[in-house]
Structure formats: structure tokens, C-alpha cells
Amino acid sequence: MRFSGRIFLSVYLRRLQQNDIISQKEYGKGMKKFSFSAVLIGLIFGAPVVAGAAYPVYSSPKVNGLNGQMMYMPTSNGRVMSSGMPAAQYNMPYGNVAAVQPTRVTGSLPKVGSSQTTAGRSYYQPSEYDRLADSGLYIGLSVGYTASLMGSMSADYAGEADAYTVPGAFDSANFDSDTVIPLQVSVGAAINNDLRIDFSYLRYSGLSYPNTVQTSDGAGGMVEAQVDGGAITANTTMLNVYYNIDSFTGYLAGGSLRPYIGAGVGISLNTIADYVVYDNTFYSVLDPAYANAGQLTGISDIYAYHNGGTTEELAFMLEGGVTTEMDGGIKLDFFVRYANLGKVKTSGSIVLSQIEWLGDGAGGEYEAPYDSVFHYTNWYESGRLGMVDVGVRLRLQF
């Protein structure tokens, strides 16, 4: 190509010279410039030809790969396999794989948390997911009703000498209550969509020492004694953890209720107010017919003034429920809760007042003209507080 172009340019310049268009000097310069240009053009167009001869290109067969993708099959020596050679000859794992047709999903998708699947997958509707998801900080207020009150009071001093003379709960006596409405305030945060933690203050009131107790008669039997007072309150602070279990159970009620479980531990300050146990039994000490004048013959109208007390106890709770949502991002937890608040216990101080009867020396007896008062210390009465509550908690998320 370089030689033919040079002949053509030489003839063209010679004719221009013969026609006196260019001079002999200009003819020589043109031929030198052409020599350099011809070399450059030859390098540009000749390089691909030389490279193709050194590295020949073969056409590659296209096969259907995994998931319907087109693949070019390499050979064992690094070059592309020719179309006439099967992949199995080169120990290739592909072969001709038919394209997998995608499954078309139609209709409504399952609710969030549902165990139902469509085309082998669990789908989540964003609107439902956002509506019941837990996120960020929140404050809560709950009100409940104690459906079951467990625990009873008993006289811890029952084994003391002459203890039968101090009326109390010698036989275990259940707590008394009209209506117990536990109130709870909580502040917490969602750690993720399944886990949340809060710190709560829980208060119980409306409890009291039992209205009647069975006290010892000093002869191995029991007599009934009346009680006045003994209101009980419990102020509990707890750290609680709640976990949404919809990944196991699915949502309930068509996707509107999200189930959860919870547990908490903390400290409870349990307080019992002062109370009086009144035993109106007449206890005979000595037959008046054999009593000297002024000798004790009997005791009646025994009042035992039990001083109340406050104890600090370890408390825990277990809770299960479901969550739904109102407008404005307010969530409602409907729950059943078991709370164990530890013991409620008196201060151990008992003041005993009784009427004494004295013999008159003539076979009769009379009421003593003085007050008979005794003071006992470290004689406790106690009982463990446990309750099952049902209630609703309102949570406002931020």
C-alpha cells in the first residue's frame, strides 16, 4: 500500500512540475512529507491485521444458563469453546439449562406477621407493617383490675411462749379486697420492631388485712377474732422487657392485633397500716370457787394493736397480651399480668390490752379496776402478695 501510494503521488507531482505549477524544490519536499505520512498510516491500519493473525477470534456459542441468563461457555484451555463441542466434554456443570419462568403473584397479599405465604414467600403490606411496628420512645399509662388476689397473712410469732394470749392470724387468712385498680406509668423505647424496654412505676391499693382471723384459744383449738384496719398499698418500680411474637403466631383478628409477651423485675415497697385484732372470748384461768380474793380468775375483751410497717421486697411480673393502634400513633396493649410483690410485713410491735377478772374470795369474781396492758416486740405478722391483673395500656410513641 505504501509503494502504490508513493507511485501515485510521484506521478501527480511530476505533472505539476512539467506544467510549471510547482518548482523542482517543492517537488522534493512533497515527496519527503509523503514518506512520513505513509509510514504513520501503515502503522494505524496494519496493527489490527497483525494482532488478529497472532490472536484469532472464534465465535462463542450461547447457552441458556441458570435462571434463564445467557452464558458463554469457556473451554478447558482458556479459549472460548466452539459451537460444535458439548459442554459435558469439558466437564462443565452447566449444560443447556432451561429458563425458569417466574411465578406471577395476583390478588391481595397476606397481612403482616401472617404465616400465610404466596408463591413460597411471606409478603408484608407496608401500610400494615408501619401501623403496628414499634419504633422510638414512648410513654405509657395503664389501668387494670385485679381478677385474682393471692397470698395470706399469718402470725410469725405463733411459736412464741404464751403467744396464744395475743390474738392474730394463727391460721393463714386471705387478704381482703373490694376492688383493686392497679395503675402503672411507664417510659420506654423500642429497640427494634420486635423488642422494647421500659421503666415503670406500678401502684396497688384497695388491699387490706383480712376482716376476720382464726386465733388460738390456748387449748389447741381456734376461735374467731375480728379485725379493724390494716390497709395495704404497694409501690413498685420495675425494668420490663417486651417481645413481639407475631413471627411465631402471626397477627390475630385479621391482622389488627399483634401478640407479645413480657417480663419485669424490680423493687416493691409494701406498706400495711396499723390494725387491731379483737378477741371477745372469755378465757377462764381459775375457778372463782377456789380463788382467793384478788386472784386472777379470767381474761376477756383482748385487743391486740399491731403496728404496721413497710418492707422493701424483690418483685417480678410476667405479662402477655396483644397490641392494636388508634389514630394518631397511639397504641393499646390489652394484657393479662401476674405480679409477685414479695411480702407485706408488720413492724413487729404489738400492744395488748385486756380485761382481767379477779376472785372476790367468796366464790365470785369481778372486773379488775385497772388497765392491763402489755407490749411485745419482734412479734411479726406477714404474708406474700401476688395478683393476676387484666387491663389496658395506652402508649404514645414519639
3-state secondary structure of 174: strand
Place of cell 379470767: 298
**Roughly what angle, to the nearest 10 degrees, separates helices 2-18 and 24-54?**
170
The answer to whether 207 and 245 have CB atoms below 8 angstroms apart is no
Residue 70 shares a structural domain with residue 43: no
Q: Are 45 and 67 part of one and the same domain? A: no
Same domain membership, residue 64 and residue 19:
no
The dihedral sign for the CA sequence 196, 199, 204, 209: positive
Question: Lowest-confidence range among 27-41, 230-244, 362-376?
Answer: 27-41
At residue 128, does pLDDT exceed 50? no
CB 236 within 8 A of CB 266: yes
Q: How many CB atoms lie within 10 A of CB 116?
A: 11
Pair 174, 150: CB distance under 8 Å: no
How far apart, in whole angstroms, are the C-alpha atoms of residue 256 and residue 131?
9
| 325 in the same domain as 191 | yes
Q: How many separate domains does the chain show? A: 3
Which has more confidence, 12 or 356? 356
**Torsion-angle region of 67 (φ positive above 0: left; ψ -120 to 50: alpha; else: beta):** left
Rounded to whole angstroms, the Cα distance separating 359 from 288 reads 5
Same domain, 68 and 43: no
What are the tens digits of pLDDT across the range 44-74?
Answer: 555 455 445 444 544 444 445 545 555 545 5
pLDDT of residue 398: 84
**Residues 314 and 274 reside in one and the same domain:** yes
For 249, counting Cβ atoms within 10 Å of its Cβ (0-12 exposed, 13-18 middle, 19+ buried), the class is middle
Report residue 81's pLDDT band, with 50, 70 and 90 as the boundaries.
very low
Does residue 204 lie within any of the structural domains? yes
pLDDT value at position 99? Answer: 57
What lies within 8 Å, CB to CB, of 13 at 6+ separation is: 22, 27, 30, 31
Please tell me the least confidently modeled range out of 43-47, 165-169, 233-237, 272-276.
43-47
Q: Which domain holds residue 67?
A: 60-102
> What's the mean pLDDT when you consider all of the chain?
79
CB-CB contact of 325 with 393 (8 Å): no
Contact assessment for residue 119 and residue 157, using Cβ atoms and an 8 Å cutoff? no
The residues, any chain, with a CB within 8 Å of residue 2's CB and separated by 6 or more, are 38, 39, 42
3-state secondary structure of 71: strand
**The predicted structure's pLDDT at residue 395:** 93
**pLDDT at residue 277, rounded to an integer:** 97
CB 118 within 8 A of CB 124: no
pLDDT score of 240 more than 70: yes
Question: Are 152 and 258 part of one and the same domain?
Answer: yes
Same domain membership, residue 366 and residue 263:
yes
Predicted pLDDT at 255: 73
In this structure, the answer to whether residues 252 and 368 fall within a common structural domain is yes
Is the model's pLDDT at 309 over the cut of 60? yes
Q: Mean per-residue pLDDT for 372-382?
A: 96
Show the cell assigned to 73: 461457555
User: At residue 51, what are phi and psi to the nearest 5 degrees?
Assistant: -65, -40
Looking at the fold, whether 11 and 31 belong to one and the same domain comes out as yes
Average pLDDT over residues 13-21: 54
Q: In this structure, are 337 and 193 located in the same domain?
A: yes
The whole-number pLDDT of residue 59 equals 47
d(CA 315, CA 215): 30
Residue the block writes with cell 372486773: 367
Tell me: do 19 and 82 sit in the same domain: no
pTM: 0.65
